[in-house]
Amino acid sequence: MARMQAPPSPWHGRRAPSADEIAALAEAAVATIPDPLRSHLAGVVFRVVEFPDEETLRDLGMADDPFGLLGLYQGVSLAEKSSLDVPTAPDMIFLYRRPILDYWADSDETLDHLVRHVLIHEVGHHFGLSDEDMERIEAGAEMGASDPQA
């Protein structure tokens, strides 16, 4: 009896996107932000790391869920900054590679769309928007997108 070979898997030789590849998707997402807004990101440092650190997870009450945080803005939002403030550290936006990939694996979203969504959410915090503000904006955008009259 002849031994049957399985067809090659489309995943053979593939690997999860690296931090550099996620960073490239984030750079492309930043490039889509309109110039007047993007100019306010000049001093913001963007970093892609594997996971949030334990202290961050603990501070956010997420110590038991390292996959629950996809991104984080650290800094003083533009709404709270004063020209008299002396910066102690640069404003930073973190994208967490493993949680993003975990979320992506269980969703129908493309990776570039997901990275853009997380990045824009964190940019919103830099501009002083709360999670609730961004949820209202997203809900309004989704309604407008489905309404041809909008």
Q: Which amino acid is at 33?
A: I
State the architecture of 19-75+89-145 in CATH terms. Answer: 2-Layer Sandwich (3.30)
Query: Angle between the 97-105 and 111-126 helix axes, to the nearest 10 degrees?
Result: 130
**pLDDT value of residue 28:** 94
How many CA atoms within 13 Å lie on the side-chain side of 118? Answer: 29
Name residue 48's beta-bridge partners.
95
| pTM score of the predicted model | 0.81
Q: What is the pLDDT of residue 89?
A: 83
Residue with tokens 């931090």: 19
Place of tokens 């940019």: 123
Domain ranges of the chain: 19-75+89-145
User: How does pLDDT run across 51-108, given as a tens digit for each residue?
Assistant: 999 999 999 999 999 999 999 999 988 888 766 766 678 899 999 999 999 999 999 9
Which residue reads 């070979």 in tokens?
A: 5
**What are 107-139's pLDDT values in tens digits?**
999 999 999 999 999 999 998 888 888 888 777
pLDDT of residue 150 exceeding 50: no
> What Å distances lie between residue 104 and 35, 63, 84, 108, 147, CA to CA?
29, 21, 42, 7, 27
What pLDDT, in 10s, does the model give residues 9-49? 666 667 899 999 999 999 999 998 888 888 889 889 999 99
What are the distances in angstroms from CA 39 to CA 33, 43, 99, 100, 127? 9, 9, 29, 26, 12
Q: In this predicted structure, what is the pLDDT of residue 87?
A: 67
